[in-house]
Every structure is written in structure tokens, then in C-alpha cells.
Amino acid sequence: MGPGEYAQPTPRRFYVHDDLTAEVAERFGPASEAAALTRTLFDFLGRDGERVVILHLADQVERVVAQGAHPAFELALSIGPAGERVARTLHARTGWFPRRREIGLTREEDGRGGYRLVSTTGEPLAEQLVGVETAGSLAVVDDTIFSGLTLGGVLRALPPALLKRTHAFCLRGVAASATAVATLCPVTVGVAAPGRMLEDVSFINASGLVVRGSIRRDGRLPLAFHERPDWIRAWFPGRDDEVIDTCRRLASILDPER
């Protein structure tokens, strides 16, 4: 990767989805060192309350539900483990997705400043989609629409006739990216943030700060966000050292064998 090819600006509004607090408390207990470090991390993240917005699962789910009811879909495609968690949570609330299939797909840095879609299962996307064309109605569920590369990639791989009976769901995303995806099929987004991607608005999952996997690289091990210090400096200026140190300490507990 050449210098600056994946540089991050300081977004005017930065959304951080809290997918850490409940998981850490469940795994280690609310009085554990890990839980205390998680609280410390969110204290650092949220100090710039005018710019950094902490998102919570329940609120996003209710925002999706408030946009209208749907009959149960014959099949739901969940994009990756994060999409499956969203689909499972929405189904528990609404009953929309009784039959689900998880699609192993993610974006990976191509080393030239861009990204490409890669299978996480070793099975090409086309093979993972075999048989979906018979579904009378189809939902495609992801957690975040950022550039729209992942969700759009799945939708573009579907037969055109199936797209006419497909609806996409996402908890959060960049409004312009969601609008672009909506040219393919209807899309429901819980939190849709206006503005230019990266410069005006950006989204991350809090777990990505700590646990490796959010940054995937061609032919190299994945990284956590805290392992790109220049990103943390851009996202949390003035408290980046504290954020990185807390992430490292928390990672040593959550992922001790890395």
C-alpha cells in the first residue's frame, strides 16, 4: 500500500455503532476488566459529542420497523456475520425473515487505493446464490451501507426478475450510497446520514476498533482500526493516544492469541 492511499479525513459527523458493550458484558461480566475498559473506550470516543454519535442497536431496529411492516419474506440473504445478526434481531422483532441464508462476502483493500469484493468462504458469490431465483420474495440484509459496494454487489448478482421482488434492509448508512443502491431495489435504512462519504459522514462498528477483521488486505493479515494510528488520529483528534492504548489493552483480553 502506497503512502496516503487509504488516508482518512476527519468527518464532520462520525457514527460509532456500539456492538461491544453488551457482548463484552456477556462474555466477561459487567464487573470485569474488559467491561471497565469498554466503558473507558466509549468515554474517550464520546467526548466530542457534537461530532461523534454513538449508535445503539435497539434504536436502529425501531427506526427500521417504523418505516413500515412487511409480510414474511420467503428467503432472506444475510451478508456476513454482521448481516446475519441484524437479520436475526429484526426477525425476533418482526417475524420478517423466517428462512435465512448467510452470504460470505466482504470488501478487501486492493493495494491501489481501492476495494474489491471477496468471498470469505472460498465459494464464489455466484455459487453462493444458486437457487435464490426460485424465491417468491427476497430480502437482502446488511448492517451498514457505506460505499454500497457490498450490498450493491449482491443485488447486481441477482437475476433481474428476482430484483423486482427484492427488498434490502440495513440499520445505518450514508444516505447518498443508500439512494444509489435504491436504484436496484427498495431499501429501508434505519439511520441514513446525509453528506459526502468520509468528509462529511462516516460509520464504523466499535468492535472494529479493537478486533482484527474490519481492515482486510490483499495477501496479508487483517487489521483492527487501532492498528492504523493515522486513522485514529483523524477520527478522534486530541485523544487518539488514549483510544489506541485502550483498544490495545482491550484487544489483549478479547483476542489474546492474535
One-letter amino acid for residue 195 of the chain? G
Q: 4 pLDDT exceeds 70?
A: no
Closest by CA to 208, choosing from 224, 221, 220, is 224
Each domain of the chain, given as residue ranges in start order, spans: 13-56+196-254, 57-191
- 61-105 per-position pLDDT tens digit: 999 999 999 999 999 999 999 999 999 999 999 999 999 999 999
Closest by CA to 228, choosing from 238, 214, 218, is 214
pTM over 0.85: yes
Phi-psi region of 198 (alpha: psi -120 to 50; beta: other; left: phi over 0): left
Mean pLDDT of the chain: 95
Q: What percent of the chain has pLDDT over 70?
A: 98
Closest by CA to 231, choosing from 215, 219, 254, 246, is 215
Q: 127 pLDDT exceeds 50?
A: yes
* Cell numbers at 242, concatenated: 488514549
Determine whether domain 57-191 maps to CATH 3.40.50.2020.
yes
